[in-house]
Amino acid sequence: MKTAADIKKRLRFFNVGPSQVPTVIAAELDGANYDGANFKKIVYVINVDKIAQSVSDPRLVNTRFELHSFQSGGMAADLLVASSSGFDPTMGAFSVPARSVSVFVSR
């Protein structure tokens, strides 16, 4: 994003409110129709808990996300993230391992 205004307009946090998982930060960056964006959406999930967590957003149901290529496959720096992070499109739910950061992309 080129400006702070672009980020403010396109960044949205979820896992907020009274039912939030307090040890997880989750946000979506909308790149749709943004000049130079490589992805339609990017979601990052930061889990500081000692156990795996799952967070969902009903607005992401039926969206397709995959773990970013730098975190997936045999070249991934953290094989636990590569093997344990996932997205369930029927629930709009991201699952992430303990004490991890996972980045998901939608093309």
Residue 63's domain comprises 4-106
Number of domains comprising the chain: 1
- The Cβ-side half-sphere exposure at 79, using a 13 Å CA radius, reads 2
pLDDT of res. 76: 85
Q: Which residues have C-beta within 8 Å of that of residue 26, sequence separation ≥ 6?
A: 13, 14, 15, 43, 44, 45, 46, 55, 57, 94
Q: What average pLDDT does the segment 3-29 reach?
A: 94
pLDDT at 47 over 80: yes
In this predicted structure, the answer to whether residue 49 has a pLDDT above a threshold of 90 is: yes
Higher model confidence: residue 74 or residue 9?
9
Please report which confidence band the pLDDT of residue 86 belongs to, taking 50, 70 and 90 as the band edges: very high
97 contacts 29 by C-beta, under 8 angstroms: no
Mean pLDDT of 71-96: 92
Residue 74 has pLDDT above 90, yes or no: no
Mean per-residue pLDDT, 79-97: 96
Instruction: Report pLDDT for 9.
Output: 92
CATH number at residue 72: 2.60.40.1180
pLDDT of residue 34 exceeding 90, the answer is: no
